[in-house]
Chains A and B, each alone.
Chain A
Amino acid sequence: MASSGEQALIRKVKKGDLDAYGAIVQDYQSSVFNVCCRILGNRQEAEDLTQEAFLRAFHQIASFDLSRPFGPWMRTVAANLCYNHLKRSRLNRVPLEDERDTIKDNTIYGPEGALEINQEHQALYRAIWELPDMQRIALELRHFQGLSYKEMAHALNLPLNTVRSHLYRGRQKLAELLEEKNE
């Protein structure tokens, strides 16, 4: 459940108060950006999608249940947006261009980020971005957003068994990729 201060802010947002929404964006932009980064593997795309997620969340705020925490709802909106973005770009993408720029360099971590994030974590990020899109999204929703299988199926509009299968394969593949990188 959202804190009482946050609930008051969201009530104002529901009435169209943009200043109140500004405070919400300020609080959640970093976590939403991280969701987009983990799914997209590209800093610029992640920033764009973070903004878009907040715009979408504002328009959908009427459907937000105040008895539930805002953070997971907001991050699920972002994850869903990234999922649709990947689906769209997959249709337009030339196969050879599929490899993400950010896997080749360290720009995703930010100008000073590469110094702050150790080699092991960089390897983990790279392994996550090498996963097939659906497996990466399933991992995001399950392990970073703590969604149940049922909630994941609802968020992605996919059958429960399909979601479960993506998650299992994703974890298995991630373990293999990390082992390869350690060798």
Chain B
Amino acid sequence: MNKGTEHISNDILQAYLDQDLNQTELQKVKIHLNQCPTCREELTRLESVLTKLESLPVLKLEKDLTSSVLTQLREESKLSQGITWTLLLEALSAGTVISLLIPAVRAAAWLPELADTHAEIRAAVNIFLTQLASSWLVWWAGWQLNIKQTAKSLSSTIFFPGSEFSPWILILAAGGIGILANYILLRSNPIRSRNHKF
């Protein structure tokens, strides 16, 4: 656009329509529109489209979707609780097995003994096995389900449906078994300082 001779570009005209111009541009457009019937006509044409859009009647929804939406959400919720149950039970079983396995392996220490290795290597093997087991557990849980969904489901679940039994009891039980197993382990085979000379 220049003074009176060139028309306003379509982009500028639309930006004017959306009040998306700065003060200087706005003034220039206003001045031009006062002088140019062609641009005024183009503006009116675009404005009429917007007026028509505003007058568009709504289309009637022929059926109520509320019940089908709620049914689907209830089914998802049941599924989510099923997953939560499965996860908790599987995690509890896996946790128990690992809790029992680690002290057993440590107490027996048959594998390093066979190789006649030094105590520090034995400790390293044990640490490696522990880390491997916990990494496997984390990977497995993440693979089994959507962690976020389970966390959300757990946080909103105080009790399992139809009972007064809380999933948190299972979590606490799993933690308790882990602590107990470690206590037994530490009692029978206390950790030695890494700087301790054998």
Contacts and interface: CB of A to CB of B under 8 A. Distances in A.
Interface of A: 15-16, 18, 21-22, 25-26, 29-31, 33-34, 37, 43, 47, 50-51, 54-55, 58, 108-113, 116-117, 120-121, 124-125, 139, 142-144, 149, 167-168, 171-172, 174-175, 178
Given A34-B58, A55-B72, A172-B10, 7 more contacts: A18-B74, A26-B64, A33-B59, A109-B59, A124-B56, A175-B49, A178-B52
A30 B49 contact: no
Contacts of B14: 167-168, 171-172
B53 interface: yes
A70 to B, nearest CB: 15
Contacts of A33: 59, 61, 65
Closest 4 interchain pairs by CB?
Answer: A33-B61, A168-B14, A54-B69, A25-B66
Given A139-B53, A175-B49, A22 B70 contact: yes
Nearest to B59: A37
A114 to B, nearest CB: 11
Q: Is the interface on chain B under 10, 10 to 19, 20 to 34, or 35 or more residues?
A: 20 to 34
A164 to B, nearest CB: 8
A124 B52 contact: yes
A121 B69 contact: no
A25 B65 contact: yes
28 contacts: A15-B156, A16-B156, A18-B70, A21-B69, A25-B66, A29-B66, A30-B60, A30-B61, A33-B65, A43-B59, A47-B63, A50-B61, A54-B65, A108-B59, A109-B59, A110-B60, A116-B57, A116-B60, A117-B59, A124-B53, A142-B18, A144-B53, A171-B46, A171-B49, A172-B46, A175-B46, A175-B49, A178-B49
A172 B50 CA distance: 11
B120 interface: no
Interface string B1-42: 000000000110010001010000000000000000000000
Contacts of B74: 18
Contacts, number: 98
Interface of B: 10-11, 14, 18, 20, 45-46, 48-50, 52-66, 68-70, 72-74, 76-77, 156
Contacts of A25: 65-66, 69-70
Contact of B61 (A29, A112, A139): A29
Nearest to A125: B56
Nearest to A109: B59
Contacts of A110: 59-60, 62
Nearest to B58: A34
Contacts of A174: 49
Contacts of A108: 59
Contacts of A21: 69-70, 73
B58 A30 contact: yes
Contacts of A175: 45-46, 48-49
B42 to A, nearest CB: 9
A111 B62 contact: yes
A33 B18 CA distance: 26
Contacts of B52: 120, 124, 178
Contacts of A178: 49, 52
A168 B72 contact: no
Given A108-B59, A113-B59, A51 B72 contact: yes
B156 A29 contact: no
B10 A168 contact: yes
